[in-house]
């Protein structure tokens, strides 16, 4: 999938999937977090920018640079608090009817990350009316369109990146659309060849593309290739939370939960990673499985009290795999599907439909398989079961 991607300084970054509702500080004077010491360049840069913006809160350049860095950090850590910090950095312009274009692009990115897709598209349309050459706006627009199932629109937005973004970014955008809309094999091959030819790209960009290649190969049933891509991505960026989740899913599908436990045991601050860790503990019959599941339940309960519905895909998987509540799982999966339509959304909907026997969910899945022409070997057993129940 294209994922939730941001192009900053010609570098593509995937924002973590399904973040919680971000915390927005009451004022710019509020202490957000005590960053650990040490020599981590990203955290040092955050601290430097935050100090500078605190002294000059209406400095647009400082604010947008800090917001960009917060978004990147949220993606890497899977920590939604950074999205709230990004919004707080943009506070002087956030509610303006016509803020500067850099603020609009970042506001659209943050809205997209919390599933406010229509307002995000509105912000992007405003930017593109002002400047039709804004590559970040086109890429973010393609992301939103792909997530919501508008493949034609996403493909058109990707095409507008030609001559405006690096070749590898353009091909990743196009291949992400083609890989789930009837062109899986050629899309994978084109991206693989471009990736091989652009070895001079930044490590972060290459890690993102290697992750996409791993997901594409897995859907094609090319398991050895998928594992190779995931391992290369981890070598390039071992802390990326989206990548960790994608590789954990691959390992769980292969019946290798012990490896997932090792991979994620120190990385469960992100809800999506705790979910996979808890599933791995259960599959591996570890004694601490119930404790991890209980912690995850508490997080979902807290999100529901906040009326945060962004976690519905993960919560549906939690209900199905860890609690065995098929009715709750299919209800959440259908609610999630009404908002976003990525392969992972289709997968949990199909699994919940098969487990619950819900006729509406089964019909939604079969219709999407027919209209989208998606090719996904990981769904084969589930969709066969749906066919038998039809």
**What's the Cα-to-Cα distance from 285 to each of 225, 245, 278, 290, rounded to whole Å?**
29, 20, 10, 10
Q: What is the DSSP string of 4-19?
A: EEEEETTEEEEEPSSP
> Residue 6 above 70 pLDDT?
no
- Least confident range from 5-19, 151-165, 329-343: namely 5-19
Q: What is the DSSP string of 296-326?
A: HHHHHHHHHHTT--TTHHHHHHIIIIII--H
CA 291/CA 362 separation, integer angstroms: 33
Let me know how many helices (H) and strands (E) the chain has, helices first.
21, 2
> Residue 220 above 90 pLDDT?
yes
Are 184 and 178 in contact by the 8 Å Cβ rule? The answer is yes
More confident residue, 15 or 337: 337
> Residue 382 above 80 pLDDT?
yes
Give the tens place of pLDDT for each residue, 225-281: 999 999 999 999 999 999 999 999 999 999 999 999 999 999 999 999 999 999 999
> Residue 2 above 60 pLDDT?
no
H or E, element range at 337:
helix 326-337
Output the pLDDT for position 389. Answer: 43
CA 375/CA 40 separation, integer angstroms: 41
Output the pLDDT for position 92. Answer: 96
Q: Could you say which DSSP state residue 201 is in?
A: S
> Residue 86 above 80 pLDDT?
yes
Three-class DSSP category at 149: coil
- Least confident range from 12-26, 37-51, 102-116, 282-296: namely 12-26
Task: Kindly state the tokens that stand for 279.
Answer: 């599933």
Output the pLDDT for position 21. Answer: 45
Helix orientation angle between 257-264 and 271-283, rounded to the nearest 10 degrees? 140
Nearest C-alpha neighbor of 220 from the set 384, 29, 378: 378
For residue 305, name the pLDDT band (cuts at 50, 70, 90): confident
Output the pLDDT for position 15. Answer: 31
Task: Kindly state the tokens that stand for 130.
Answer: 């002002």
CA 290/CA 312 separation, integer angstroms: 21
Residue 78, C-beta contacts closer than 8 angstroms, at least 6 positions apart: 16, 19, 241, 242, 245, 267, 269, 270, 271, 272, 273
φ and ψ at 157, to 5 degrees? -65, -40
Output the pLDDT for position 31. Answer: 52
The distance from CA 158 to its chain's CA centroid, rounded to whole angstroms, is 18
| Residues composing the chain | 390
**What's the Cα-to-Cα distance from 326 to each of 182, 290, 314, 349, 361, rounded to whole Å?**
30, 19, 14, 11, 12
Mean per-residue pLDDT over the chain, rounded: 89
> Residue 388 above 50 pLDDT?
no
CA 361/CA 327 separation, integer angstroms: 11
| Number of other CB atoms surrounding residue 202 within 10 Å | 15
């Amino acid at each position: 999938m294209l994922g939730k991607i941001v192009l900053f300084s010609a570098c593509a970054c995937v924002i973590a999937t399904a973040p919680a509702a971000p915390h927005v500080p009451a004022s710019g004077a509020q202490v957000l977090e005590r960053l650990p010491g040490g020599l981590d360049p990203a955290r040092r840069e955050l601290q430097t920018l935050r100090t500078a913006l605190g002294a000059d809160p209406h400095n647009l350049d400082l604010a947008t640079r800090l917001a960009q860095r917060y978004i990147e950090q949220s993606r890497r850590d899977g920590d939604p608090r950074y999205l709230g910090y990004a919004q707080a950095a943009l506070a002087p312009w956030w509610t303006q009817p016509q803020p500067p274009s850099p603020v609009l692009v970042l506001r659209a990115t943050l809205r997209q990350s919390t599933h406010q897709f229509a307002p995000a598209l509105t912000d992007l349309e405003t930017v593109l009316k002002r400047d039709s050459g804004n590559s970040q706006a086109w890429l973010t627009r393609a992301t939103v369109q792909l997530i919501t199932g508008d493949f034609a629109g996403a493909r058109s937005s990707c095409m507008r990146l030609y001559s405006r973004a690096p070749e590898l970014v353009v091909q990743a955008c196009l291949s992400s659309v083609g890989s789930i809309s009837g062109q899986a094999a050629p899309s994978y091959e084109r991206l693989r060849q471009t990736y091989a030819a652009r070895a001079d790209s930044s490590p972060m960009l290459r890690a993102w593309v290697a992750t996409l290649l791993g997901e594409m190969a897995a859907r094609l049933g090319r398991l050895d290739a998928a594992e190779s891509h995931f391992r290369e991505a981890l070598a390039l960026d071992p802390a990326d939370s989206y990548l960790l989740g994608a590789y954990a899913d691959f390992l769980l599908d292969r019946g290798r939960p012990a490896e997932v436990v090792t991979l994620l045991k120190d990385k469960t601050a992100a809800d999506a990673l705790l979910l996979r860790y808890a599933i791995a503990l259960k599959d591996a019959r570890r004694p601490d499985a119930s404790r991890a599941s209980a912690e995850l339940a508490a997080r979902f309960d807290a999100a529901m009290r906040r009326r945060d519905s962004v976690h519905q895909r993960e919560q549906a998987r939690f209900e199905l795999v860890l609690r065995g509540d098929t009715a709750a799982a299919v209800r959440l999966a259908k609610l999630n599907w009404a908002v976003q339509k990525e392969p992972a959304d289709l997968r949990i909907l199909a699994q919940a439909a098969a487990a619950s026997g819900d006729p509406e969910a089964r019909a939604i899945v079969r219709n999407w398989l027919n209209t989208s022409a998606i090719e996904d070997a990981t769904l084969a057993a589930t969709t066969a079961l749906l066919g038998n129940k039809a």
